[in-house]
Amino acid sequence: MQEQFTYAKFWRCALQVNPVRYNSSYRGTDHGLSEAEYNQALLKKCLELKITVVGIADHGSVASIDALRDVLRPRGIVVFPGFEIASNDKTHYVCLFSEETTGQQLERYLGNLELLDPADGVRPSRLSSEQLIEKVDQLGGFIYAAHCTSDNGLLKNRLNHVWKLPKLRAAQIPGPIDDLAGVESDFYRRVLLNKDDAYRRERPVAVINSKDVAKPEDLAQPGATCLVKMTRPNFAAFKVAFLDPGSRVRLNSQQAESPIGKVLSMTVTGGYLDGVRADFSDHLNTVIGGRGTGKSTLLECLRYALDLPPKGKQASKLHQAIIKENLGRAAGRLELLVVSSAQNGKQYTVSRRYGEPPIVRDLDGNVSTLLPRDLLPGIDVYGQNEIYELAQDETSRVQLLDRFLPQGEDYEAKSAEVHRRLVENQRKLAKSLSDLDDVKAQVDRLPKLEEQLRGFEELGIKEKLAKTPLLAREREIAKSVTESAQSLRDALVDFRDSVPDLAFINDEALEGLPDISQLVAVRTTLEGLSQGFNEHLAAMTAMLDEASAQLAVQQEAWQEAIRGHEAELEKSLRTLPSAAGKSGQEVGAAYQRLMGDIERIKPMNAKLSTYEIQGDTLKQERRNLLAELSDLRGQRIQALQKAAKRLNRRLEGKLKVEIVPEANRTPLLSFLLGCKLEGVGEKRLSWIDEAETISPMSLAQSIQTGSANVQLDWGVTQMVAEALTKLQPSQLMELEALELEHRVDISLNVAHGQADPSFRQLSKLSTGQQCTAILHMLLLENADPLLMDQPEDNLDNAFIAERIVTELRDAKTRRQFLFATHNANIPVFGDAEWIGVFTAAESQGCLGLEAQGSIDVPVIRDQVASILEGGREAFIQRKDKYEF
């Protein structure tokens, strides 16, 4: 196996394959194959089923192992030679040994196990089950209880004292554990799940499937193989897997699907990490190394390639500094291979040079229009201490709940649209109210103007300038004519813009659709409708153009007549007598202006009701929009509260989440301070925070009803109430649409171990506990990866061991994680599938392929012990001090 393996994954293992003569010797039938044919047929079946590890286990015999091994091994299949053997209590076991074990060594091992009759493999050993298990362990082998629920099986024989031996690490059953439900009063299933007190073990036994393979086709049966996680398939890694079977051993029926979104690999060219290449596991990945070796740089480079800016200010500064220092100086380049959750599992390459935007390519090398965030929309990346910044920020905590909201939640878009319409309504309503005030002010002038008119009439001017009011009325009529014609032209433009563009239903759009004939008929109707409307539009436009030309001629004729009348009036003005110290001409000019004003204002009286109706319509529209906004807010709160309930169920005993609606009153306080209320400063607005509940919409409505109601409703002083009632209508409209953010109260169970839960609010937690609370939420279900730099910096060590690692082990089967860490609990007890060991040499971070693997790789295991735990001596010293 020349391939370089850098992370642990599940390999298919057939752990009880028999050589050629087993079928005839123990089954009484002959498969009709020679030894060479049988071995070749086994090889073909292994390759077809992707079986990587084969355990050869004939009954008490090793005679045919080498011939089979010589066929399998050259094709990359690892062979663990061994045998099946019975103890003196007639319980059957399979014993397997290293792939390097020779036939002669196996013969000696059989001799050490004291068979009653070495020539007869069925005859048992003189050793008891306990002695047999101990002896195989001393020989460096691996022993498991064969067919433990069948005749001569360990559980069938009810040997609970043997079952509980720590060196017995595995037991074979024929299929899924659930198939044993109800068998012998559910005895087998309860024991295998470690729920039977008489058989309870400190570490549960690993349950495997391995069938007595007597002919090649037996390998295809589901119970013939199981899955064992190793970096590189070999016997040492195989034995390590059974030290942590919960993470590393699976039945075929338990095989978990791979996470949807993931980063498969990363390559760095240039800069501090020049030449680094990492192929990541789908599950838990950890980066370790001394300080300054490149752990944080790797994560920040991943973040940079994906163009995911940090959420916190400090994290942003640190990110920019790291990228500039370690990538910018050499104009470095990053390349990632990712699997997109949002694009149905398609693979893409994401590359980015320093100072340039990222480029996304599909597997054919074509540049995509998609952005990295479109590929992995749910990815979480947190740099050093960034999770702590998140814990302090109210808005960020609310956003954490968004991922638990129902799919298709579009509150933000709907809310933004309602707010946009409210702003537009406010603009129109403010103009309408202003216009109404202007018209009212003009109409209110009319009695005074008419009184002034009577004074002129007493001077006898009316008769001499009889045409003045008539000409003033003509001018208003002419002005309305011009406005009417322009209004029709504007309406035609709007109408023309409303005629549909039928490109959406053209031949190209319809090509290949199953109901194209029906849609073509629909298009024909639309085309006829559109054509008819366009014809009418053309006719109306021509009619309007013709009428406009006529109006221009007619208005010119009218203007000529007006000029004649004005000349007559000019003569009359010169004959007027002086009055009140003004010349007759001045008196006449004042009369003309007065009549012009009266004739201009008189039509406004009739329009007053129109303005009032328009204002009422806009007010009703605003009431409807505010009600829609209120409904949206109610739906949002309900959705958040439901999400919190689901979250509480999933984190029961660990975390409690409560939504406090509209608890952040800062926007309201800032708004009112910005209104510069007379005599009212921040201290006199303290009632805003003291109120049990508060709604800007309710406050605005209260203000509109008067200061007495404001005092009664909100418990404010008369001075504050009167200042609030002086707010302008536009300010009140802004107030009633103001949004207050909800608060997320998070409480963490700070009790350890089996102690009764003790929940404490986030604000009263230590820094480490605050970050633990947030991390509980971050670890929950998500289709995309979670990348975090040194989470232990702000986490309580006991919580890491007791809770975080436990959650990681469960979550990593469904989601990819990548942590840079100094804490051994995460890679060791979390059983990281990929551990990258960074070193530094000549101011260069190094992560060679030999420095990547899982804990089952000796060099990786030694580096983990040395870097994270201080080495072997530190382990021994701790053991001596703790006395266990």
* pLDDT 10s digits, 494-516: 888 888 888 999 999 999 999 99
Question: What are the tens digits of pLDDT across the range 46-99?
Answer: 999 999 999 999 887 788 899 999 999 999 999 999 999 999 999 999 999 999
Residue 310 CB neighbours (<10 A):
19
Segment among 27-31, 492-496, 605-609 with least mean pLDDT: 27-31
Give bridge partners of residue 579 from the DSSP assignment: 582
One-character DSSP codes across 6-67? -S-EEEEEEEEE--TTHIIIIIS------HHHHHHHHHHHHHHHTEEEEEEEEES--TTHHH
Domain coordinates in residue numbering, the chain: 9-254, 262-403+746-882, 411-494+552-629
pLDDT at 873: 66
Question: What are the tens digits of pLDDT across the range 181-233?
Answer: 999 999 999 999 999 999 999 999 999 999 889 889 999 998 999 999 999 99
Cα(574)–Cα(585) distance, rounded to whole angstroms?
6
Average pLDDT over residues 337-360: 95
pLDDT at 237: 96
Average pLDDT over residues 831-846: 92
Report yes or no: 218 and 225 within 8 Å, Cβ to Cβ: no
Beta strand pairing call for 277-279 and 655-664 = unpaired
Q: How high is the mean pLDDT of the chain?
A: 87
Question: What are the tens digits of pLDDT across the range 858-870?
Answer: 999 998 888 876 6
Closest by Cα among 128, 219, 226 to 170:
226
Is the pLDDT score of 534 beyond 70? Answer: yes
Query: What is the residue whose two structure tokens read 């998070």?
Result: 746
Radius of gyration of the CA atoms of the chain, in A = 43
Report yes or no: 91 and 157 within 8 Å, Cβ to Cβ: yes
Report yes or no: 307 and 358 within 8 Å, Cβ to Cβ: yes
Closest by Cα among 861, 876, 637 to 739:
637
Report yes or no: 84 and 45 within 8 Å, Cβ to Cβ: no
Q: What are the DSSP E strand ranges found in 326-410?
A: 333-339, 347-353, 359-362, 380-382
Handedness of CA 729, 731, 734, 740 (dihedral sign): negative
Average pLDDT over residues 275-285: 95
Closest by Cα among 80, 22, 83 to 215:
22
Q: How confident is the model at residue 584 (pLDDT cuts 50, 70, 90)?
A: low
Is the pLDDT score of 355 beyond 50? Answer: yes
Phi, psi of 20 (to 5 degrees): -60, -35
Query: What is the residue whose two structure tokens read 């608890």?
Result: 663
Q: Pick the more confident residue, 412 or 244.
A: 244
Report yes or no: 177 and 212 within 8 Å, Cβ to Cβ: no
Distances (CA, A) of 192 to 90, 195, 329, 547, 564: 21, 8, 58, 96, 115
Q: How confident is the model at residue 458 (pLDDT cuts 50, 70, 90)?
A: low
Phi, psi of 426 (to 5 degrees): -60, -40
Cα(743)–Cα(857) distance, rounded to whole angstroms?
48
The overall longest dimension of the chain from CA atoms, in Å, is: 154
Distances (CA, A) of 8 to 437, 816, 860: 78, 14, 12
At CA 665, angle to CA 659 and CA 668, rounded to 5? 140
pLDDT at 397: 72
Residue range 262-403+746-882, CATH number: 3.40.50.300
pLDDT at 65: 92
pLDDT at 131: 95
**Sheet containing 347-353: order of strands:** 277-279, 262-269, 333-339, 347-353, 359-362
Cα(874)–Cα(353) distance, rounded to whole angstroms?
43
pLDDT at 23: 62
Cα(880)–Cα(884) distance, rounded to whole angstroms?
7
Distances (CA, A) of 412 to 400, 408, 409: 15, 11, 8
pLDDT at 775: 82
Quote the tokens at residue 243.
């030290």
Q: How confident is the model at residue 438 (pLDDT cuts 50, 70, 90)?
A: confident
Backbone dihedral region for residue 50 (phi beyond 0: left; psi -120 to 50: alpha; all else: beta): left
Is the pLDDT score of 119 beyond 70? Answer: no
Report yes or no: 825 and 819 within 8 Å, Cβ to Cβ: no
Report yes or no: 595 and 472 within 8 Å, Cβ to Cβ: yes
Handedness of CA 110, 114, 118, 122 (dihedral sign): negative
Cα(447)–Cα(805) distance, rounded to whole angstroms?
86
**Architecture of the structural domain at 9-254:** Alpha-Beta Barrel (3.20)
Q: How confident is the model at residue 767 (pLDDT cuts 50, 70, 90)?
A: confident
Quote the tokens at residue 812.
């990593």
Segment among 233-237, 255-259, 408-412, 773-777 with least mean pLDDT: 408-412
Is the pLDDT score of 465 beyond 90? Answer: no
Q: Pick the more confident residue, 143 or 467.
A: 143
pLDDT at 36: 93
Give the whole-number percent of the chain exceeding pLDDT 70: 91
Closest by Cα among 820, 843, 845 to 276:
845
Distances (CA, A) of 603 to 309, 607, 611: 62, 7, 13
Segment among 143-147, 276-280, 484-488 with least mean pLDDT: 484-488
Element (H, E) at 663: strand 655-664
Is the pLDDT score of 455 beyond 90? Answer: no
pLDDT at 706: 93
Reported as half-sphere exposure (CB side, CA atoms, 13 A), residue 728 has a value of 11
Residue 703 CB neighbours (<10 A):
22
Query: What is the residue whose two structure tokens read 């994290």?
Result: 315
Tell me if domain 9-254 and domain 262-403+746-882 are identical in fold: no
Report yes or no: 387 and 774 within 8 Å, Cβ to Cβ: yes
Q: How confident is the model at residue 596 (pLDDT cuts 50, 70, 90)?
A: confident
pLDDT at 2: 41
pLDDT at 774: 83
CA dihedral 806, 812, 814, 820 (to 10 degrees): 130
pLDDT at 31: 67
Burial 199-232 (b: 16+ CB within 10 A, else e): beeeeebbbbbbbbbbbbebbeeebbbbbbbbbb
pLDDT at 1: 37
Element (H, E) at 198: none
pLDDT at 674: 93
pLDDT at 387: 82
Which DSSP symbol is given to 331? T
Cα(839)–Cα(844) distance, rounded to whole angstroms?
8
